[in-house]
Amino acid sequence: MKLQFDVLQKGDYEVINKELERKDSLDVLKWVYNAFGDKLVYSCSFGAEGMVLIDLISKVKKDATIVFLDTDFHFKETYDLIDQVKERYPSLNIELAKPEITPEEQAKQYGERLWEREPDACCKVRKLVPLERELSRYDAWISGLRREQSPTRINTQFVNQDNRFQSIKVCPLIHWTEEEIWMYINLHKLPYNELHDKSYPSIGCEYCTKPVAEGEDPRSGRWANSEKTECGLHK
Ligand code: SF4
């Protein structure tokens, strides 16, 4: 079976996921890298799941390509973490994908502080369009989605038809709990974003991420002043 978005039918995903059903995340990664090779990319946001996935990927494909959507609006701590990861895994190919326009050009074109007035438009310019551009070079992409993260992610499978990006989305961590993610990070002494220790369970752009009080939904600090809950990458 040719593993390409325009070839696979809905039923093919069911067959693939049935085959992977009893495998653990490492075996899923072995299977997908074997299937897609260099036509597979990991789009990483460098959150806690990202640290686990990078470590697992490095055990399967030492020169895997990892792309970070660099909106220009991330926390300094996130950029520092990327430097640490590059140092720890020197053979991984970590790329920063930039939007077509700079923050200054965006302000001129769309007005100041677009993220406050129209966060969907801002995410489109700084995340969706760059990811679309990056994914057009690959047959499949990896994402760190977990089912328990939000009701919109509950039906995520290991291998998913991604109509938004005309691609195949692979989610090896669907069954992991937050506790398991942190157990893995601590056990393997992985680097992680220091903002996680300052009440930021989910970290995105600085303008759109707030700390979260204990007991609150971990994602409630994202776009806290609007109805928005996802940047649109996983619709
Ligand atoms: S998360 Fe906020 S600042 Fe970042 S691209 Fe989306 S709207 Fe813009």
**What distance, in Å, lies between the first and last C-alpha atoms of the chain?**
27
Q: List the domain boundaries for the chain.
A: 10-193
Provide the 10 A C-beta neighbour count for residue 124.
17
Q: DSSP E strands: which ranges in 60-191?
A: 65-69, 93-97, 140-142, 159-162, 167-170
pTM: 0.92
Alpha-carbon 91 to chain mean position: 20
Check pocket membership of 126 for ligand 1, CB cut-off 6 A: yes
Beta bridge partners of 168: 140, 161
Cα 200 to Cα 78: distance, rounded to the nearest angstrom: 12
Asked if residue 206 lies in contact with residue 180, where contact means CB atoms within 8 angstroms, the answer is no
1 confidence band (pLDDT: 50, 70, 90)? confident
Check pocket membership of 71 for ligand 1, CB cut-off 6 A: yes
Class of 10-193 per CATH?
A: alpha beta
Asked if residue 26 lies in contact with residue 56, where contact means CB atoms within 8 angstroms, the answer is yes
Catalytic residue numbers, as ranges: 231
Ligand 1 midpoint to CA 46 (Å): 16
Across 221-228, average pLDDT:
68
Ligand 1 midpoint to CA 208 (Å): 6
| pLDDT > 70 in the chain, percent | 94
pLDDT at residue 228, rounded to an integer: 65
Across 164-187, average pLDDT:
97
Beta bridge partners of 40: 140
Across 123-128, average pLDDT:
97
pLDDT at residue 71, rounded to an integer: 98
**In the structure encoding, which two tokens stand for residue 120, read together?**
């969907």
pLDDT at residue 216, rounded to an integer: 80
Residue 17's alpha-carbon distances to 49, 141, 161, 167, in angstroms, are 21, 16, 11, 16
Atom of ligand 1 nearest to the CA of 126: 5
Check pocket membership of 67 for ligand 1, CB cut-off 6 A: no
pLDDT at residue 218, rounded to an integer: 73
pLDDT at residue 3, rounded to an integer: 85
Which residue's C-alpha comes closest to atom 5 of ligand 1? 123
Ligand 1 midpoint to CA 221 (Å): 13
217 confidence band (pLDDT: 50, 70, 90)? confident
171 assigned to a ligand binding site? no
Q: Is pLDDT at 7 greater than 90 in this prediction? A: no
